[in-house]
Each structure stands twice: as structure tokens, then as C-alpha cells.
């Protein structure tokens, strides 16, 4: 029986382990932290005795790989699913704006939602729709040297439209600015949203904490199917002979009872255990911070489960059972700020949008994910490595490899599945 060793227990590693164990392939997964999950986890905030996430994850209906993973591990009922795309936005005028695709059928419902998005002028809304209708006619090659802003300006999207729609979508999806993001990457996202069916355009949110919603079910599924998960153990080196990994050494153990190895480590983790030049990887990634601020109030009244902010350094507000979660993407400028500075910045801004003051806050918690995502710039488009390596039995997984997607949970899940396909192909030879 062929065996597989997986290094790294984030979404990529858990996806790979889940698929392999479902096919009765013996798997051992080694994770350096006390519990798998990588950048996707929840924990109990001791001061409020509340389960909170390290960072809010939005899944879309077009996340086919993620949803296949969720279905495989039996976690489908742990998520809330929109019937049609609905986005509610907060403005400093205290007026709410909405993109609501409830009316009509797909894709007419999406265009109708845009026509009703009246923070844009009638001319801007028509220009928006014309741009969307042109997308299927575009080739990726025509966009290869453009960033998102250059592309949108070229397509007659006004500065007002950029500010009140495209920046929101780009920063939310890619965690970076219009100027830094590659147009090709953004193009692929738009095709998925507007041309892959109604469900593809909808928002899906976890009902519970991330660990309870997706990580714990994955762990249970893997172990139920005979997989072994080893936590709190860090891999230190890979021993290679004749272009094959023969031994994997951790800080406490040596492993050689395997036929294949899947590295599901981030790039900075991989280069600690094997020189990147050994794998012909010449890639340097710039990372972008996501900041989450959890706030508990004396009063909490919201009609919707989440909101976007218009014209604000704040990006999203998620309503939890007894608190709210403010998300600031592309937040490198806040990475070194103190928690007090961030608190006053957020509250001073938040007071413009909702009826709340600093005195209403009972407790707050700030979480900075400094390496939340890599910046999907033009310079790295053709430099990301494939899963298959020159080492015969080593395959790569992780949101940073060549999946054709930005650094998302979907890219991580897809990379895990790609690595598994390669392993299974080797087994079948």
C-alpha cells in the first residue's frame, strides 16, 4: 500500500489529507502548531468567553474546490448560503446602499442589482454593465501587463466607480490595492462571479467559528478514515537521494515510511527545510496584512449579517452573536501600530457610520495576520511553481503555487486537490 506524508496542516494540507484518506491511502500529516488550520482557525477569547476567528473568511458560490472539500468532510450544514447575491453598504451619511440580486433570473438579476446601485450615476452604471458584458470577449493575453487600475481606467470606469465599487471588490478579494493587483487575476474572479451561474455569485459565511465550521470536521474525517495527524511537531529537513525524498526529519523524529511527500507549507516555511534552488523556485513574495478587530458593545442592533463600508479605511463589518468583527484588508500600514492607536482609529471612523461611541465598548480584541495573503502582482504571474517538482516524490500545495487563483481559501483547497491528483497518477502507473 502506497503511503503519503503531508507537511503542513492548513487548508491545503487538510484538503489533500481528506481526499487521500477518502480513497483509503494511508496518510500522516505533520503540523508545527498545536492544532491544524493554518491561517483558518478560531479560539476562545478569555476576557469575553466568546469563540472568535483569527480572521473572517468569505466563501463564494464559485469556490468549487472549497465547497467540494466542505461536502467531503460533511460540513455543508455549518455554513449559511445566500439564495442570490446581496451586499449591504454603510455610508457616512448614515444612508444604506444595497446591491440586491433577488429580482429576476441570472444574470439579469446581477445587472438589475447594478442598475439599482444608485450611489453611482446612471452613466456610471451603464458603463459598468457594458464593461461586464465585454469580459467574455477579452483574452488574458491582452491584460498580462496591466494592473487592475490601469485596466479599469482603460475601460472607462470613472474614479467614482473605482472608489465606490471596484476598490471594495479588489481589496476584499485580493487584499491589495488596485495599483498592485494584476489585471489577469482580477479578470478571472469577475468571470467566475458574472458568468458561472447564480450560485457562483453568492456569499457563503460560516455559522460558527472557523475551527468548528471547517477545521474540526476535517480533522475528524481524516482520523475516522485512518489518517494520522501529528501536531506541535516542526519538520526541520528533507533528506534527498537520487532525486527522491528518503527521510523527513522533524525536531524530534525521523520519518521514512512513505512513498510520497506533499509539502503544504507557505513559501517561507518551505525554504526552511529545503533550498528553493533545489526545486528551481525563484520567487519572492510580498505579503499583505489583514487586521480584524472584535468589539463587544453594551447594545447591538443590526438587521444584516454583514456590511461593507463605502469611502472608508474600514472594509467590512460582520455581525456575530454578541459582538461585531471589523475587517481592514491591505493593512500593512497598521501592522506596527499599537492596539490603542488602532482602537481609536477604528472607533473614530466607525462613529461616522453607526450610532456608537467609545463609551459603549465593553471589550475589544485586535488580531493582525501580517502574512495573511501574498500580493498578486504582475511580476509573479509566471513565476509561481507548479505542484510537480523535479524531486520525483515531492509535490507542492499551498495558496501560493500556480493554481491560477489569488491567495484565498479556494486557492489553498485547489492546490491540495492538484497535489492529490498527481499522487494518485503516480500510484496508478
Q: Is residue 78 part of a domain?
A: no
21 lies in the same domain as 166: no
Cα 122 to chain centroid distance, Å, stands at 33
Contact (CB, 8 A) for 319 and 305? yes
157: containing domain: 97-198
Q: Do 262 and 395 touch, CB atoms closer than 8 A?
A: yes
- Residues 252, 298, single domain; the answer is no
Query: Do 188 and 132 fall within a single domain?
Result: yes
Q: Does pLDDT of 357 surpass 90?
A: no
Inside any domain, residue 339: yes
Do 113 and 183 lie in one domain? The reply is yes
358/396 same-domain check = no
> How does DSSP classify residue 239?
E
CATH number of the CATH domain containing 310: 3.90.660.10
Distance CA 19, CA 5 (A): 13
How many residues in total does the chain contain? 429
Whether 22 is covered by a domain: the verdict is yes
Query: How large is the angle between the packed helices 183-195 and 167-174, nearest 10 degrees?
Result: 100
- Are 106 and 182 in a shared domain? yes
Domain boundary among 151, 176, 198: 198
Write the CATH number for 257: 3.50.50.60
The answer to whether 222 touches 21, Cβ cutoff 8 Å, is yes
Let me know whether 102 and 192 are in one domain: yes
Contacts of 88 (CB under 8 A, 6+ apart): 96, 97, 98, 304, 306, 307, 308
Q: Please report the DSSP string for 53-105 in residue order.
A: ESS---EETT-HHHHHHHHHTT-GGGEEE-SS-EEEEE-TTS-EEEEE--SSS
Output the pLDDT for position 132: 96
Q: Are residues 234 and 366 in the same domain?
A: no
The predicted structure's pLDDT at residue 94: 83
- What confidence tier does 58 reach under pLDDT thresholds 50, 70, 90? confident
**The pLDDT value given to residue 279:** 96
Q: What is the pLDDT of residue 338?
A: 97
In the chain, the largest separation of any two C-alpha atoms, in whole Å, equals 67
pLDDT higher than threshold 80 for residue 429: no
Res 247: pLDDT: 98
- Write down the pTM of the prediction: 0.94
- As a whole number of angstroms, the distance between CA 12 and CA 414 comes to 8
Mean pLDDT is lowest, of 78-82, 150-154, 296-300, for 296-300
Residues paired with 326 in a beta bridge = 293, 317
H/E run at residue 249:
strand 244-250
Q: Hey, is 26 helix, strand or coil?
A: coil
- Alpha carbon of residue 394 to chain centroid: 25
Q: Which helix (H) or strand (E) holds 294?
A: strand 287-297
- On whether both 384 and 369 belong to a single domain, the answer is no
What pLDDT score does 56 carry?
A: 87
CB 404 within 8 A of CB 188: yes
- Whether residue 355 is predicted with pLDDT greater than 80 in this model: the reply is yes
Asked whether residue 276 falls in the same domain as residue 388, the answer is yes
DSSP state of 311: S
Give a yes or no: residue 76 inside a domain.
no
Q: Is 410 exposed, middle or buried (0-12, 13-18, 19+ CB in 10 A)?
A: buried
Is the four-CA dihedral 416, 420, 421, 422 of positive or negative sign? positive
Number of structural domains found in the chain: 3
Mean pLDDT across the chain, nearest whole number? 95
pLDDT digits (tens, 9 = 90+) for 166-179: 999 999 999 999 99
Mean local confidence (pLDDT), 311-338: 95
Check residues 297 and 386 and name the one with the higher pLDDT.
386
Name the residue with higher pLDDT: 300 or 51: 51
Q: What is the C-alpha separation between 407 and 140, in angstroms, rounded?
A: 19
Q: Clarify whether residues 354 and 384 are in a common domain.
A: no
Domain boundary among 359, 374, 389: 374
Task: Decide if 68 is inside a domain.
Answer: no
* Contacts with 162 (C-beta within 8 Å, 6 or more apart), sequence order: 149, 152, 153, 178
Cell numbers 534527498 correspond to 240
Q: Which of 334, 349, 374 is the last residue of a domain?
A: 374
Which residues face 239 on adjacent strands? 247
CB burial of residue 241 (10 Å; 0-12, 13-18, 19+): exposed
Please check whether residue 56 lies inside any domain of the structure. no
Q: What is the pLDDT of residues 13-49, one digit of tens each?
A: 999 999 999 999 999 999 999 999 999 999 999 999 9
pLDDT for position 352 = 92
Q: Is residue 255 part of a domain?
A: yes
Provide the pLDDT confidence category of residue 185 given band limits of 50, 70 and 90. very high
Kindly tell me if the per-residue pLDDT of 327 is higher than 90: yes
Q: Are 384 and 272 members of one domain?
A: yes
- Reading the block at residue 244, the C-alpha cell is 527522491
Asked if the model's pLDDT at residue 159 lies above 80, the reply is yes
On whether residue 84 sits in a domain, the answer given is no
Cell of 351: 462613529
Neighbours of 355 (CB within 10 A): 9
Mean pLDDT calculated for residue range 252-268: 97
Cα separation values, 383 from 29, 278, 386, Å: 28, 15, 9
Amino acid at each position: 500500500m502506497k503511503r503519503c506524508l503531508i507537511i503542513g496542516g492548513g487548508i491545503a494540507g487538510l484538503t489533500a489529507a481528506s481526499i487521500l484518506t477518502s480513497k483509503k491511502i494511508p496518510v500522516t500529516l505533520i503540523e508545527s502548531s498545536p492544532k491544524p488550520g493554518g491561517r483558518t482557525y478560531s479560539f476562545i477569547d478569555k476576557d469575553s468567553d466568546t469563540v472568535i476567528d483569527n480572521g473572517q473568511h468569505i466563501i463564494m458560490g464559485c469556490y468549487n474546490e472549497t465547497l467540494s472539500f466542505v461536502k467531503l468532510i460533511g460540513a455543508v450544514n455549518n455554513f449559511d448560503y445566500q439564495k442570490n447575491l446581496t451586499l449591504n453598504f454603510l455610508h457616512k451619511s448614515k444612508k444604506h446602499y444595497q446591491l440586491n440580486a433577488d429580482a429576476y433570473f441570472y444574470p439579469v438579476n446581477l445587472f438589475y442589482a447594478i442598475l439599482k446601485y444608485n450611489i453611482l450615476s446612471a452613466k456610471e452604471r451603464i458603463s459598468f454593465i457594458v464593461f461586464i458584458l465585454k469580459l467574455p470577449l477579452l483574452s488574458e493575453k491582452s491584460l498580462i501587463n496591466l494592473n487592475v487600475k490601469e485596466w479599469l481606467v482603460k475601460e472607462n470606469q470613472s474614479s467614482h466607480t473605482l472608489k465606490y465599487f471596484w476598490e471594495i471588490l479588489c481589496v476584499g478579494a485580493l487584499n491589495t490595492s488596485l495599483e498592485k493587483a494584476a489585471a489577469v487575476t482580477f479578470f478571472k474572479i469577475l468571470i467566475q462571479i458574472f458568468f458561472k451561474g447564480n450560485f457562483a455569485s453568492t456569499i457563503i459565511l460560516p455559522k460558527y467559528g472557523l475551527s468548528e465550521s471547517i477545521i474540526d470536521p476535517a480533522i475528524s474525517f481524516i482520523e475516522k478514515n485512518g489518517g494520522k495527524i501529528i501536531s506541535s511537531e516542526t519538520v526541520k529537513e528533507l533528506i534527498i537521494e537520487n532525486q527522491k525524498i528518503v527521510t523527513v526529519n522533524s525536531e524530534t523524529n525521523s520519518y521514512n515510511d512513505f512513498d510520497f511527500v506533499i509539502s503544504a507549507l507557505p513559501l517561507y516555511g518551505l525554504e526552511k527545510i529545503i533550498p528553493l534552488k533545489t526545486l528551481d523556485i525563484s520567487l519572492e513574495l510580498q505579503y499583505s496584512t489583514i487586521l480584524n478587530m472584535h468589539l463587544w458593545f453594551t447594545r447591538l442592533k443590526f438587521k444584516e449579517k454583514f456590511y461593507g463600508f463605502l469611502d472608508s479605511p474600514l472594509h467590512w463589518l460582520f455581525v456575530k452573536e454578541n459582538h461585531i468583527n471589523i475587517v481592514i484588508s491591505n493593512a500593512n500600514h497598521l501592522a506596527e501600530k499599537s492596539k490603542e492607536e488602532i482602537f481609536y482609529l477604528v472607533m473614530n471612523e466607525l462613529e461616522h457610520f453607526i450610532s456608537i461611541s467609545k463609551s459603549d465598548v465593553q471589550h475589544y480584541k485586535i488580531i493582525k495576520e501580517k502574512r495573511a495573503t501574498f500580493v498578486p502582482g504582475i511580476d509573479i504571474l509566471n513565476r509561481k511553481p507548479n505542484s510537480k517538482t523535479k524531486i520525483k516524490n515531492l509535490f507542492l500545495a499551498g495558496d501560493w503555487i500556480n493554481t491560477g487563483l489569488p491567495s484565498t481559501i479556494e486557492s489553498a483547497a485547489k492546490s491540495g486537490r492538484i497535489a492529490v491528483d498527481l499522487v494518485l497518477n503516480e500510484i496508478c502507473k
